[in-house]
Amino acid sequence: MLGLTAAQAVAAIDAGELDAQELFTRYRERAEQDRQTTWQGGLNCFTWVSQGVPHAASGPLAGVPLAVKDLFCTEGVPSQSGSRILEGYLPPYTATAVARLRDAGAPLLAKTNQDEFAMGSSTENSAFGPTLNPWDPDRTRVPGGSSGGSAAAVAAGLAPWALGTDTGGSIRQPAALCGIVGLKPTYGSVSRYGMIAFASSLDQAGPLTRDVTDAALMLKHMVGRDPCDATSLAHREPIVLPSAERLDGVRIGIPAELQRSPEGGSALASSSHRPGTGKVEPSVRRCFDEARKQAEQLGAEVKEISLPHAPHALSAYYVLAPSEASSNLARFDGVRYGLRAENATDLLDMYSRTRHDGFGPEVKRRIMLGTYALSSGYYDAYYARAQKVRTKIAEDFAAAFQAVDLIATPTTPGVAFELGEKTSDPWAMYLSDYFTVPMSLAGIPAISIPCGLSAESDGVAKAGLPVGLQLAGPAFSENRLLDWAYALEQALGFDVTASHV
Amino acid sequence: MARELSAVLDHVARIGELDLDGVPPTSHVVNVSGALRRDEPRACLPRDVALAQAPAVSEGGFLVPSPQA
Amino acid sequence: MSEPPRTHAQPPPGGSSKNDSHEAVIGLEIHVQLATATKMFCGCALSFGEPPNTHTCAVCLGLPGSLPVANAQAVHLGLVIGLALGSELAPRSIFHRKNYFYPDLPKGYQISQYDEPLCRGGQLGDVRIHRVHLEEDAAKLIHVGASGRIHGSDASIVDFNRGGTPLAEIVTEPDLRTPEQASEWLKLLRTTLRQLGVSDVNMEEGSLRCDANISLRPVGSQELGTKTELKNMNSFRFIERGIRAEIARQEHILRGGGHILQETLHYDPASDRITSLRSKEEAHDYRYFPEPDLLPVDIDQHMLAAAKAAMSELPADRAERFQRELQLSADSAQLLAFRAELGDFFEAALAAGAQPAPPPQALANWITGELVARLDEGLDPAAGRVTPEALATLVGMLAAKTVTVGAARQVLDTLLAHGGDPRAIVEAEGLAALDGGDELAAIVTAALEANADAAQRVREGNAKAIGPIVGHVMRETRGRADGTEVARLVHEQLGV
């Protein structure tokens, strides 16, 4: 039963072949075991596991258990956003996305680990220890981030499916590194009410699943206007489960600027943002080329396009997201909830020690960056400028979608890297999101599907690590995006259960 | 920290290279407006719930060191 | 968090607030709590003195994951204010975050408006409006003091009931020149807002708050001097006194050759002293940026129509109408229009259908003069025993000379004490004016005979000598004779 996708489990439960409570119990036991065996074979996917089994859940999701990223408020259940400053925080309400899924019949199995306040690409920034990638038998590689716990749990078969969030790539990148499906919907599709905020104009909730069908199923039950979120919107048509077998007539564009990423790190030469320079790991290049051929065999017309401002997307993102975050995280001041530094001598002391003790280094770094970019005298050069770059990127995509129906890129420049490999060089870490950030800035939907594994013949450090393919479409094109991703998924035949523990 | 920050700043400062004259800034990627709320009361949190996670409470309020002046 | 308050060098006692070479330039920043049912960004009902933290929710407590949603009624009331002030309503306005740390600010930022406010420009009376925008109120900090110290320092408790209440901030251009003018204008604003029904505008309760920006400059100069901001004055009197004290303080400094520091100041009415709150020079960088959780506010036809429909007649318009339609003097018109209850009483009296009808100006004079003088200060005449109809009848009778002025005053006193109908009172107390005619003529004749010397002096051209004769007639008639008529009869009978 643990090998079933969520959709398959729903069908089996509806057909009376599977008992939902038994399913929940099995998953719960395995999740609990993972929690107990951290650093001894466990992956550290979870920050909290349900202690009981819910009563029979009814609804279209029939009781299939759901793992939920730590930053979603779940009433009475710790919601910490991976941070010490919220350790043990119990919200008095449940996030809309989680409530909708629960009401559709998906009970809460566990909360999953993440980079602190969703800032990171490896889950190494969690205050509760990193999560490990189940594809690596040595257990020394990252699952990606910030939704690393959700991705690893699904990849390891410890949860049938999971809810994550994506701000610059935090669903898609871990999905790619963990060989599963991850979808970032059109901005505004899913209510942000109850999502502990990182960057308000970029954050979006989305599914991490074993296949595209499950992603569609979860999305279908989450979308829709929420009166509690002024930025939420309705899709004009309901989300449907995919069924396409071919890609005849589908025009796929490959942006010249997003076939390579810049050389990593601070040693970055000024030439790095010109198209065609820099690198993508050989495994990624090979798998991407193979996926492209596969798409052509299915009848797609693949051509090169240009997104001229895409090379500046990462820079703009690392102005906008930290700026919004610096403001969103101001509420963590020790007054009403969360950590308060002990024996504070005065108010200022209370504020500064609480935040000094409660925030990790990456969060502090981004708060400083954001505060700087918003400060008077620098606002025009940084924040306002970055907003203009954002406009240009959105225009680039709009122009591209006049000529093509889908845009394809590798999801990440490389496969899962080692713990500690990029932690001393922030920009090297940020480059993990090079291909995913432009879609976040434009607010358009994008999905990552697994398209292959690294091989010895690539000449890489480690074989057998997954590679992701990213497909993006215009705003509100989820149904078509899911349909075409499904067709490719079927053709690629990637085995998602290979990493199950 | 300072070294890392300044390295990041060098990278983000590259947005300064682009010619962005006359480009309107995007503050909301969602191109709609409104979403105003009807002026109808909704249930408030019971006080004990509002105070439940507070580090320090006194006389029904959140207790903090006084701001000076 | 900042230095303790400094008391500034005060001008010598008795120093005047007017200086020959400097003029004061005053602008006001007014915060008005809007009369909505719920808060600006959440559905909590507004609180009036309830126990602390009983009107809160995830949003106004700033709990993680909460999001604001703007109150449509607050936007509507903001538009009504803008229309009333003749402002330009922005077709699109946006919310901004104003970032700073303080315990009464749960999110660590206030949602306000910055460079794209709801309304720009406008005018009320002599004062131009700079802008009107919407924002949320802060929570309340209650100093607990020694009784609740934390780790040796003083403590405060935070009550979030008020946090999130919708505010309209109205900023004027620096068009005011004297403390009295500022206070009077603020009263006009208050009456206007009250008449619109957008707020309780009660300074004691805090639904109307006013800060003043004050600077001095040489008379005739067009440039502005360094300004200070004076805060926390919670009555019209204190505003006037505070501004006066600050003007005096600045003059004292300038006369001594010093410079004005740009800072935020506090006025203490008890001691009449100005103290510093914090230096505006180290002005906080609020790092304003557009609020990503809220969409722009676009004004559509429906909203505009609704705002227009909500506009009642404003004091200035009412005064103008009184002058135009009823030929009231400018002064009378303004007196009646700027105190809504007097204007209402006046119009009710006119509409009462009294016969003979009272002339509007006479009625106006009786309301703003005789009636107001007899009522407790600020009392609404409608709350007293004199009905509009009764006063209309009385003034009509006076105009028809059925009663004399003296008698009318007596009737008014009786009306105030017991209510009733003027005609009945006149009858009961025998106050009817004497008909000009034989009876009066006979009494005048008798008075002339009794005051022959005075009569002779009047014949010789000494007009003042008529006094004793008229007095005699008044005594004889117990004030029921009309003075003008008596004088006329005297002159007629004397042949002068």
Question: What band does C361 get if pLDDT is binned at 50, 70 and 90?
Answer: very high
B-chain CB neighbours of C156 within 8 Å are 63-67
Which pLDDT does position A318 carry in this prediction?
A: 96
Higher pLDDT, C412 or C13: C412
CA dihedral C349, C351, C352, C358 (to 10 degrees): 60
Which pLDDT does position A12 carry in this prediction?
A: 96
Is A93's pLDDT higher than 70?
yes
Average pLDDT over residues C439-453: 88
Q: What is the pLDDT of residues C371-429, one digit of tens each?
A: 999 888 767 788 789 999 999 999 999 998 888 888 899 999 999 999 899 999 998 88
Which pLDDT does position C435 carry in this prediction?
A: 66
Question: What residues have CB less than 8 Å from C443, skipping those under 6 apart?
Answer: C434, C473, C476, C477, C481
Question: What band does C132 get if pLDDT is binned at 50, 70 and 90?
Answer: very high
Do residue B60 and residue C278 have CB atoms under 8 angstroms apart?
no
Question: What residues have CB less than 8 Å from C242, skipping those under 6 apart?
Answer: C212, C230, C233, C267, C269, C274
Which pLDDT does position C144 carry in this prediction?
A: 80
Neighbours of chain A (3+ CB pairs under 8 A): B, C
Is C438's pLDDT higher than 90?
no
Is A371's pLDDT higher than 80?
yes
Which pLDDT does position C147 carry in this prediction?
A: 57
Which pLDDT does position C278 carry in this prediction?
A: 63
Distance CA C69, CA C110 (A): 14
ipTM: 0.94
Which pLDDT does position C376 carry in this prediction?
A: 80
Is A274's pLDDT higher than 60?
no
A-chain CB neighbours of B19 within 8 Å are none
Which pLDDT does position C488 carry in this prediction?
A: 86
Which pLDDT does position B66 carry in this prediction?
A: 87
Half-sphere exposure of C327 (CA within 13 A, CB side): 4
Q: What is the pLDDT of residues A438-464, one digit of tens each?
A: 999 999 999 999 999 999 998 888 899
Question: What band does A271 get if pLDDT is binned at 50, 70 and 90?
Answer: very low
Is A200's pLDDT higher than 60?
yes
Question: What band does C316 get if pLDDT is binned at 50, 70 and 90?
Answer: confident
Distance CA C476, CA C459 (A): 23
Which pLDDT does position C6 carry in this prediction?
A: 47
Which pLDDT does position B31 carry in this prediction?
A: 73
| Global pTM value | 0.84
Is C3's pLDDT higher than 50?
no
**Residue in C63, C68, C289 closest to A91 by CB:** C63
Which pLDDT does position A306 carry in this prediction?
A: 96
Residues 24-53 of B with CB under 8 A from C: 27-28, 30, 32-42, 44-45, 47, 50-51
Best of C63, C281, C291 to disrupt the A interface (most A CBs within 10 Å) is C63
Question: What band does C281 get if pLDDT is binned at 50, 70 and 90?
Answer: very low
Average pLDDT over residues A309-326: 96
Which pLDDT does position A14 carry in this prediction?
A: 94
Best of B26, B58, B68 to disrupt the C interface (most C CBs within 10 Å) is B58
B-chain CB neighbours of C144 within 8 Å are 58-59, 63, 66
Please identify which residue in the block is written with the tokens 């009403």.
Answer: A336
Which pLDDT does position C437 carry in this prediction?
A: 63
Q: What is the pLDDT of residues A160-190, one digit of tens each?
A: 999 999 999 999 999 999 999 999 999 999 9
Which pLDDT does position B34 carry in this prediction?
A: 67
Catalytic residues of A: 69, 146, 170
Is C158's pLDDT higher than 90?
yes
Neighbours of chain C (3+ CB pairs under 8 A): A, B
Question: What band does B30 get if pLDDT is binned at 50, 70 and 90?
Answer: confident
Which pLDDT does position B28 carry in this prediction?
A: 85
Do residue A369 and residue B29 have CB atoms under 8 angstroms apart?
no
Is A4's pLDDT higher than 90?
yes
* DSSP for A200-236, written as a single string: TTT-EEEEEESSHHHHHHHHHTTBS--TT-TT----S
Is A224's pLDDT higher than 90?
yes
Range among C208-217, C271-280, C334-343, C415-424 rated most confident: C208-217
Which pLDDT does position A266 carry in this prediction?
A: 32
Distance CA A141, CA A133 (A): 6
Question: What band does C13 get if pLDDT is binned at 50, 70 and 90?
Answer: very low
Measure in Å the smallest separation between the Cα of A297 and chain B Cα atoms: 36
Distance CA C122, CA C466 (A): 58
Average pLDDT over residues A363-384: 96
Average pLDDT over residues C442-460: 89
Helices and strands counted in chain B (H then E): 2, 2
Which pLDDT does position C4 carry in this prediction?
A: 46
Q: Does A316 touch chain B (CB under 8 A)?
A: yes
Question: What band does C148 get if pLDDT is binned at 50, 70 and 90?
Answer: low
Instruction: State the first-to-last Cα distance of chain B, in angstroms, to the nearest integer.
Output: 34
CA A288 to each of CA A277, A468, A469, C197, C468: distance values in angstroms, whole numbers, following the listed order: 17, 8, 7, 66, 121
Average pLDDT over residues A408-418: 96
Measure in Å the smallest separation between the Cα of B42 and chain C Cα atoms: 5
Q: In this structure, what token pair is assigned to residue C449?
A: 């005979």
Distance CA C296, CA B32 (A): 8
The answer to whether C299 and C79 have CB atoms below 8 angstroms apart is yes
Q: In this structure, what token pair is assigned to residue A341?
A: 């530094």
Which pLDDT does position C339 carry in this prediction?
A: 82
Is B14's pLDDT higher than 80?
yes
When the pLDDT of each residue in chain C is averaged and rounded to a whole number, the result is 89
Return phi, psi of residue C100, to 5°: -165, 165
Is C310's pLDDT higher than 50?
yes
Is A197's pLDDT higher than 70?
yes
Average pLDDT over residues C457-484: 85
